Amino acid sequence: MECILRYNLEELKESLSKMGMPKYRAVQVLGWVYKKFQTDFDAMTDISKEDRKLLKENYRVHTLELTDEVHAEDSVKYLFKTLDGHTIESVLIRERDHLTLCVSSQIGCAVGCKFCATAIDGLTRNLRTDEIIDQLLQIQKKILPQRIRNVVFMGMGEPLANYENVRKAVEVMVSPWGIDLSKRRISVSTSGLIAQIKRMSEDPIMREVNLAVSLNAPSQKLRELIMPISKTNNLSELMQVLKEYPYPKGRRIMLEYVLIKGLNDKKEDALSLAQLIGKYKNKFKVNLIPYNPDPELPYERPSIEEVYEFQKVLWQTGISTFVRLSKGINIFGACGQLRQRDVVKWKEWKKGERAGLQSL
292 assigned to a ligand binding site: yes
Question: Residue 185 CA to chain centroid, in angstroms?
Answer: 12
224 is in an annotated binding site: no
Residues 6 or more apart whose CB falls under 8 angstroms from that of 26 comprise: 7, 9, 12, 13, 15, 16
One-character DSSP codes across 273-321: HHHHHTT-TTTEEEEEEE----TTS---PPPHHHHHHHHHHHHHTT--E
Instruction: Specify whether the CB–CB gap between 62 and 42 falls below 8 A.
Output: no
Which one is catalytic: 3, 89, 131, 256?
A: 89
359 is known to lie in a ligand binding site: no
Query: Which secondary structure element, helix H or strand E, spans residue 100, and what is its range?
Result: strand 99-102
Based on the residue annotation, tell me whether 102 is a catalytic residue of this protein.
Answer: no
Q: Is 105 annotated as a binding residue?
A: no
Is 3 known as a binding-site position?
A: no
> Is 189 among the annotated ligand-binding positions?
yes
Report which of 105, 108, 106 is spatially closest to residue 123, judged by C-alpha positions: 108
Q: Which of 102, 131, 256, 335 is catalytic?
A: 335
Residue 158 is labelled as binding a ligand: yes
Q: Is 89 a catalytic residue?
A: yes
102 assigned binding-site residue: no
First to last CA, the chain: 48
Binding-site residues for S-adenosyl-L-methionine = 157-158, 189, 214-216, 292
Binding-site residues = 109, 113, 116, 157-158, 189, 214-216, 292
Binding-site residues for [4Fe-4S] cluster = 109, 113, 116
Q: What positions carry a catalytic annotation?
A: 89, 335
